[in-house]
């Protein structure tokens, strides 16, 4: 009976980040990701706003296997520094726990909101260049708080969740090898995707390289917190008029 709020997705929404790749004589070694813009390639792009759209999303607890499903969602946020985002909020609609509707306080039936979330870019693998964003509460411990079944089943979700960020294109940072492109020549994505994946309540990505693992935990109806996994795909674009965000990988 439990589920978690679909956090972040919110996401983050995140945006476009840069997993800059450095090339060695034998292979490419990827640098840690940072944000950059079309106007100031290679430099930090603070306060660039972004929006996100989300399709079907879900959160599953383990071992109880409670699943909360939502049919769609939207997200907003902004880049606040070289590797950070803030003011991220995600709204999910059509949310249910079994046959029960779920909603945040003051919202229509089936509509859930995350708390104000912060995001941080990280390196999932320096060998492959995969990068992601971790979403976590801006303050306090909760990613989301809501109820199901007309307010009779309280649900709380805490900790953080990592999604893989894809959609950019580019190459390694200098020195370059034949066929490689540098940051200045990287292509800017029209959009990016932040994907959260899980299996049986275990998140697919639990940590960035060099860091310890952490995943969402959810409590339903006051019960003990359980490990929880979120599934969602967030398509992210920068707000019209703002500098385009890009990243290499």
- What sign for the dihedral angle of Cα 242, 243, 244, 245? negative
Average predicted confidence (pLDDT) for the chain = 80
What pLDDT, on a 0 to 100 scale, did the predictor assign at position 7?
A: 33
Residue 1 is assigned to a structural domain of this protein: no
Residue 3 is assigned to a structural domain of this protein: no
At 183 the three-state DSSP class reads helix
Residue 43 is assigned to a structural domain of this protein: yes
List the single range of 33-47, 88-102, 176-190 with lowest mean pLDDT.
Answer: 176-190
Q: Which tens digits make up the pLDDT trace of 123-159?
A: 888 777 788 899 999 999 999 999 999 999 999 999 9
Backbone φ and ψ for 86, nearest 5 degrees, come out as -155, 180
Question: With bands split at pLDDT 50, 70 and 90, how would you rate the model's confidence at 74?
Answer: very high
Across the range 12-37, mean pLDDT stands at 46
**What is the extent of the structural domain holding 191?**
9-246
Stretch (H or E) spanning 9:
helix 9-12
Rounded Cα–Cα distance for residues 2 and 89 (Å): 22
Question: What does DSSP say about strands 192-196 and 226-238: parallel, antiparallel, or unpaired?
Answer: antiparallel
Cβ within 8 Å of residue 37, ≥6 positions away: 43, 45, 48, 243, 244, 245, 246
Across the range 73-82, mean pLDDT stands at 90
Neighbouring-strand partners of residue 13 = none
Rounded Cα–Cα distance for residues 232 and 129 (Å): 22
Structure-token pair, residue 228: 């929880």
What pLDDT, on a 0 to 100 scale, did the predictor assign at position 13?
A: 29
At 147 the three-state DSSP class reads strand
What pLDDT, on a 0 to 100 scale, did the predictor assign at position 20?
A: 29
Residue 2 is assigned to a structural domain of this protein: no
What pLDDT, on a 0 to 100 scale, did the predictor assign at position 24?
A: 33
Residue 216 is assigned to a structural domain of this protein: yes
Put residue 47 in one of left, alpha, beta given phi > 0 → left and psi -120 to 50 → alpha.
Answer: left
Rounded Cα–Cα distance for residues 158 and 152 (Å): 20
Across the range 57-64, mean pLDDT stands at 94
What pLDDT, on a 0 to 100 scale, did the predictor assign at position 79?
A: 85
Of 245, 248, 227, 246, whose CA–CA distance to 66 is shortest?
A: 227
Q: How many domains does the chain have?
A: 1
Q: Which tens digits make up the pLDDT trace of 163-173?
A: 998 865 455 55
How many CA atoms are closer than 13 Å to the CA of 245, on its beta-carbon side? 36
List the single range of 32-41, 87-96, 145-154, 226-235 with lowest mean pLDDT.
Answer: 32-41
At 10 the three-state DSSP class reads helix
């Amino acid at each position: 009976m439990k589920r978690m709020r679909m956090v972040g997705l919110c996401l983050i929404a995140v945006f476009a980040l840069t997993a800059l790749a450095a090339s060695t004589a034998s292979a490419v070694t990827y640098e840690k990701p940072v944000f950059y813009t079309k106007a100031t390639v290679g430099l930090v792009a603070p306060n660039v706003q972004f929006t996100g759209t989300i399709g079907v999303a879900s959160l599953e607890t383990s071992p109880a296997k409670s699943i909360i499903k939502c049919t769609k969602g939207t997200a907003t946020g902004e880049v606040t520094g070289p590797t950070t985002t803030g003011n991220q909020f995600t709204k999910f609609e059509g949310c249910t726990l079994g046959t029960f509707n779920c909603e945040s306080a003051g919202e229509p039936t089936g509509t859930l909101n995350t708390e104000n979330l912060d995001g941080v870019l990280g390196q999932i693998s320096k060998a492959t260049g995969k990068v992601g964003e971790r979403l976590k509460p801006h303050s306090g411990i909760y990613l989301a708080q809501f109820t199901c079944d007309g307010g009779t089943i309280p649900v709380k979700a805490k900790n953080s969740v990592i999604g893989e960020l894809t959609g950019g294109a580019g190459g390694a940072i200098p020195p370059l090898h034949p066929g490689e492109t540098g940051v200045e020549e990287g292509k800017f994505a029209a959009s990016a995707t932040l994907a959260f994946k899980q299996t049986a309540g275990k998140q697919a990505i639990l940590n960035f390289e060099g860091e310890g693992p952490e995943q969402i935990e959810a409590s339903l109806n006051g019960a003990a917190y359980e490990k929880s996994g979120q599934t969602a795909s967030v398509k992210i674009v920068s707000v019209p008029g703002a500098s385009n965000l890009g990243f290499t990988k």
